[in-house]
A and B are shown apart, each in its own frame.
Chain A
Amino acid sequence: MEWIADWLFVIPLAPLVAAVANFLLGRWWIRDRAHWIAVPAVGVSFLASVPAFLTVARQHEPLSQHLYTWIPAGDFRVPVVLSVDQLTAVMLLVVTGVSFLVHLYSVGYMHGDPGYHRFFAYLPLFVFSMVMLVLASNFLVLFVFWEAVGLCSYLLIGFWFRRRSAADAAKKAFIVNRIGDFGFGIGVLLIFVTLGTLDYAEVFERVGTLGAGTVTAIALLLFTGAIGKSAQVPLFVWLPDAMEGPTPVSALIHAATMVTAGIFMVARTHPIFVASPTAMLVVAIVGAVTAFIAATIAVTQYDIKRVVAYSTVSQLGYMAIALGAGAWIAAIFHLFTHAFFKALLFLGSGSVMHGLHDELDMRRMGGLKRSMPLTYWTFLIGAAANAGILPLAGFWSKDEIIVGAWVAGYPVVALIALAAAFFTSLYMFRAVFMTFHGEERFDRAHLHPHDPPWTMSVPLVVLAVGAAVAGFAGVPPEQGWFHRLLEPVFEGSAHHEVSLATTLAFGAVSTVIALAGLYLAAAAYVLGTVSPAAVAERLGPLYRLAYNKWYFDDVYQRLIVEPARGFATFLWRQIDVGVIDAAVNGAARLVVWTSQLWRRAQTGLVANYVLAIALGTVIIVGAYLVAGSNLFR
């Protein structure tokens, strides 16, 4: 199937064509038929990714297709080359596959929205950007599509831009990402300044020639980008707010496109990180902190989408731990399994919202198990997979990360990750129990929850199957099919041998922890033996800390937003109005004043004008005579 190397361009082109078509024609012509273009386009993209994946799965060499040379500037050339190695192939499958299901789901979910065509223009554009980001073969193209992904997320989060909260959330996502992207951009520039090239292969080849400090700086700057894009502490605040977008967008951002970009980028540039132990440690610590903080926050939230959103942040923290621990394959494996169950959880909560007329608060749900059986079972599988219950996807990947952190010499990180795993299980089953079990707390007179139409349920079922079985791609741990597949990509990096005993021990411990979380959730919300309110009361300040999201938003508001706004107001009032405008207005007033003076000369009498012309002629000719002839010398 080597022929696919010449057809790689189809993968990004199909969604781009759909996006452009819906942009240009959507409003006047396509309108409600927008999905007829977008869904097949992403499907084509997925179908084209499959042979590419199968090809690189069999052969060692990556595929590549040279499209054109973007910047030919002397020795510095930036070609746009689509290259597919095993890592890229996995990402391609995840991105296009999940995106396809999300597209399909959106047909039902977004039905009747006035911006239907717009939605199906942004969504393929998002897929296009992400696919190009994954396919990039140098840092500049990566950076461009890194930004494009940020732009698309802005457009989609603010899709219902008439709602102020959505517009604010979109701006917040964009600005917070800018902070990370700024670091990322400087990192790319630093690579160019020190190595003179931006091509992946050349950079990785020469990374050993750099000093330790430089490598650490580059690695940390690149990781800054990942912190923003993959929602790590301290820049994770945008992701929960991104729930303001339509639910399929949340699924897409959380599972397939946006947040995985950071993890993918770090894995892609792993030779740089491997060269800097300091950076690796920082990555692991940031990941552990993120995983723990987000998990504790998720336990206290009542908005079902926010719970899932914080769960994403937490899972991204796990991936960062794996990256920091050098367990690259585990990170990508977790990304892979996470894509299934997180997309499933979002689409499932979307179904719940669909059935309850956009109700988000879990305190006004409950008992949906009977009326929405399909949604319940699929959501339960997703939640269990997320919580790390034994045979499901999340267990295998998460366990591998914890083991990886332990053997890489970060025992504290591993313990934090285990603690976070307890909270993960707790908040996941809390969400399940509050939503689907217990008494029906919604308005039963007006709401008649029901399972969604087939375009929405098919993706749920497909993703549920994926969430259930995807984990077996990595069984047995460390030697599974998935690991053998990705080994060529990461063969240069150090590999920790893990004994069977360690693996089994951690597997047992994390299973116990997950079950403990499950039991606590059940005790609190089904059995009623533990009162959540009493627990919250007992914990007091700790509960409030988690409930208020560790005060990140408030601290940012107090320390950054308000001073910045004050400074901006100062610039506006004092500098802009006081100095610049005053100067401009002063100039205008001067002109007016001089014009008033001169308008007396404007008599309207042609004779006077002629006189002035003649006088001017005489003077100018006289001046020429004085200056040019030898008459006066």
Chain B
Amino acid sequence: MAIEVLIFYLLAGVAIAAAAGVVLARNPVHSAVSLVLSFVNVAAIYVMLRAEFLAVAQIIVYTGAIIVLVLFVLMLVQQQDLPEFHGGRPLRRAVGFLLGLALLAEVAAAILTRSLRGAPGSWPPEAVAAVGGNIQAIGRELYSAYMLPIQATALLLLAATVGALFLARPELIEERLAVARRLFTISLAHPRGVDPLRPVAELPAPHDSELKPAGGDRALVMARSAEEFTEQPAWGEIRR
């Protein structure tokens, strides 16, 4: 058995195991770290496949950028919001695994019975070496035959940037209010009576004792006005 086959098995094994870790880990941070491991191993396999540029791009883009983003988001999203893995959906889990197995079987059959071979390309290793390496070869190809797609990609990234800005814009009071109305029943009366002279900021956050069940599982919140209620910083925690 050639040494490179061994190396392949090693890398592939770690990549698959790490990928399984992504799916199985209970803590999302563990999943993310597992994903990094998987990506790095796949990048190494790219190197074996004479795709050095992509290997580097993979590490920079995925592990360098995307995973960091994921971790940031994880940090921003409050931990108690994260649902448990074993949240009890056994039927769905069984169906998921069965579907996965079925697809694996199908793809395996397809790979093993594969009879189609594409026409040989125009970039054998010697040709790639002749132009100075993988990066140069990709550059030549990319900026000649793929000019239009690369422009389209630029537009796509721009659109994604704008979209992200839109999604991450500060919340409007109306939106916050809508959320609050969905979660609580808001009574527009302060428990201590109406006192228009006191500034809103001085009003204390509603306490648990101020929450009363109001039909079903919805909490009742007393506030002078709906806007005032949503300005209270603690309303996110009250729900639990």
Residue in B closest to A608 when the chains form the complex, CB atoms: B92
Chain B residues 117-145 with CB under 8 Å of chain A are: none
Cα–Cα, bound, A153→B155 (Å): 57
Q: How far apart are A145's CB and chain B's nearest CB, in angstroms?
A: 51
Q: Within 8 Å of chain B (Cβ to Cβ): is A631?
A: yes
> Which of B43-51, B95-103, B225-233 contacts the other chain?
B95-103
A330-374 contact mask (Cβ, 8 Å, vs B): 1 or 0: 000000000000000000000000000000000000000000000
> Which of A384-392, A506-514, A609-617 contacts the other chain?
A609-617
Chain B residues 169-204 with CB under 8 Å of chain A are: none
Asked if A621 meets B103 with Cβ closer than 8 Å, knowing A629-B109, A631-B113, the reply is yes
Q: How far apart are A62's CB and chain B's nearest CB, in angstroms?
A: 60
Cα–Cα, bound, A624→B107 (Å): 11
Asked if A629 meets B113 with Cβ closer than 8 Å, knowing A617-B103, A618-B99, the reply is yes
Asked if A621 meets B99 with Cβ closer than 8 Å, knowing A607-B92, A630-B115, the reply is no
Residue in A closest to B95 when the chains form the complex, CB atoms: A611
Q: Within 8 Å of chain B (Cβ to Cβ): is A54?
A: no
B78-116 contact mask (Cβ, 8 Å, vs A): 1 or 0: 000000000000001001100100110011011001010
Cα–Cα, bound, A13→B107 (Å): 75
- Residue contact B99 to A614, C-beta cutoff 8 Å: yes
Residue in B closest to A623 when the chains form the complex, CB atoms: B106
- Residue contact A625 to B92, C-beta cutoff 8 Å: no
Cα–Cα, bound, A611→B99 (Å): 9
* Chain A positions within 8 Å of B92 at CB level: 607, 611
* Chain B positions within 8 Å of A618 at CB level: 99, 102-103, 106
A631: which of B96, B102, B103, B109 is its contact (CB, 8 Å)? B109
* Chain A positions within 8 Å of B109 at CB level: 625, 629, 631
Q: How far apart are A601's CB and chain B's nearest CB, in angstroms?
A: 16
Cα–Cα, bound, A630→B113 (Å): 7
Cα–Cα, bound, A629→B110 (Å): 7
Q: How far apart are A136's CB and chain B's nearest CB, in angstroms?
A: 52
Residue in B closest to A621 when the chains form the complex, CB atoms: B106
Residue in A closest to B98 when the chains form the complex, CB atoms: A618
B106: which of A607, A622, A630 is its contact (CB, 8 Å)? A622
* Chain B positions within 8 Å of A629 at CB level: 109-110, 113, 115
* Chain A positions within 8 Å of B110 at CB level: 621, 624-625, 629
Cα–Cα, bound, A611→B106 (Å): 17
Cα–Cα, bound, A624→B99 (Å): 17
Q: How far apart are A277's CB and chain B's nearest CB, in angstroms?
A: 74
* Chain A positions within 8 Å of B107 at CB level: 621
* Chain B positions within 8 Å of A622 at CB level: 102, 106
Cα–Cα, bound, A621→B110 (Å): 9
Residue in A closest to B107 when the chains form the complex, CB atoms: A621
Cα–Cα, bound, A196→B115 (Å): 63
Cα–Cα, bound, A614→B102 (Å): 10
Q: How many residues of A are counted as interface, with CB atoms below 8 angstroms from the partner's CB atoms?
A: 13
A314-343 contact mask (Cβ, 8 Å, vs B): 1 or 0: 000000000000000000000000000000
Cα–Cα, bound, A625→B114 (Å): 10
Q: How far apart are A326's CB and chain B's nearest CB, in angstroms?
A: 74
Cα–Cα, bound, A624→B106 (Å): 10
Cα–Cα, bound, A617→B107 (Å): 11
Q: How far apart are A616's CB and chain B's nearest CB, in angstroms?
A: 10
- Residue contact B106 to A625, C-beta cutoff 8 Å: yes
A615: which of B99, B113, B115 is its contact (CB, 8 Å)? B99
Cα–Cα, bound, A607→B113 (Å): 33
* Chain A positions within 8 Å of B96 at CB level: 611, 614
A219-253 contact mask (Cβ, 8 Å, vs B): 1 or 0: 00000000000000000000000000000000000
Cα–Cα, bound, A614→B92 (Å): 12
Q: How far apart are B117's CB and chain A's nearest CB, in angstroms?
A: 14
Cα–Cα, bound, A618→B102 (Å): 7
Residue in A closest to B112 when the chains form the complex, CB atoms: A631
Cα–Cα, bound, A504→B143 (Å): 99
Cα–Cα, bound, A630→B107 (Å): 14
Cα–Cα, bound, A607→B87 (Å): 14
Chain A residues 591-628 with CB under 8 Å of chain B are: 607, 611, 614-615, 617-618, 621-622, 624-625
Q: How far apart are A517's CB and chain B's nearest CB, in angstroms?
A: 87
Q: How far apart are B4's CB and chain A's nearest CB, in angstroms?
A: 29
Cα–Cα, bound, A479→B96 (Å): 107
* Chain B positions within 8 Å of A625 at CB level: 106, 109-110
Cα–Cα, bound, A624→B110 (Å): 9
Cα–Cα, bound, A244→B65 (Å): 81
Cα–Cα, bound, A621→B102 (Å): 10
Cα–Cα, bound, A307→B102 (Å): 94
* Chain A positions within 8 Å of B99 at CB level: 611, 614-615, 618
Q: How far apart are A476's CB and chain B's nearest CB, in angstroms?
A: 85
* Chain A positions within 8 Å of B102 at CB level: 618, 622
Q: How far apart are A77's CB and chain B's nearest CB, in angstroms?
A: 44
Q: How far apart are B28's CB and chain A's nearest CB, in angstroms?
A: 17
Q: How far apart are B172's CB and chain A's nearest CB, in angstroms?
A: 24
Cα–Cα, bound, A629→B113 (Å): 7
A418-450 contact mask (Cβ, 8 Å, vs B): 1 or 0: 000000000000000000000000000000000
Residue of A617, A618, A625, A630 most packed against chain B (CB within 10 A): A618
Cα–Cα, bound, A435→B107 (Å): 102
Q: How far apart are A633's CB and chain B's nearest CB, in angstroms?
A: 10
* Chain B positions within 8 Å of A621 at CB level: 103, 106-107, 110
Cα–Cα, bound, A615→B95 (Å): 10
* Chain A positions within 8 Å of B95 at CB level: 611
Cα–Cα, bound, A376→B107 (Å): 104
* Chain A positions within 8 Å of B113 at CB level: 629-631
Q: How far apart are B104's CB and chain A's nearest CB, in angstroms?
A: 10
* Chain B positions within 8 Å of A614 at CB level: 96, 99, 103
Cα–Cα, bound, A155→B92 (Å): 72
Cα–Cα, bound, A408→B109 (Å): 99
Q: How far apart are A618's CB and chain B's nearest CB, in angstroms?
A: 5
Cα–Cα, bound, A247→B70 (Å): 84
Q: How far apart are A613's CB and chain B's nearest CB, in angstroms?
A: 10
Cα–Cα, bound, A518→B113 (Å): 111
Residue in B closest to A628 when the chains form the complex, CB atoms: B110
Q: How far apart are B49's CB and chain A's nearest CB, in angstroms?
A: 24
Residue in B closest to A617 when the chains form the complex, CB atoms: B103
Cα–Cα, bound, A611→B115 (Å): 31
* Further contacts, 11 of them, CB under 8 A, given A618-B103, A629-B109: A607-B92, A614-B99, A614-B103, A615-B99, A621-B107, A622-B102, A624-B110, A625-B110, A629-B110, A630-B115, A631-B109
- Could you write out 9 A-B pairs with CB less than 8 Å apart? A611-B96, A614-B96, A614-B103, A618-B99, A622-B106, A629-B113, A629-B115, A630-B115, A631-B113
Q: Which residues of B contact A (CB under 8 A)?
A: 92, 95-96, 99, 102-103, 106-107, 109-110, 113, 115
Q: Which residues of A contact B (CB under 8 A)?
A: 607, 611, 614-615, 617-618, 621-622, 624-625, 629-631
> 5 nearest interchain CB pairs?
A629-B113, A621-B106, A631-B113, A614-B99, A618-B102
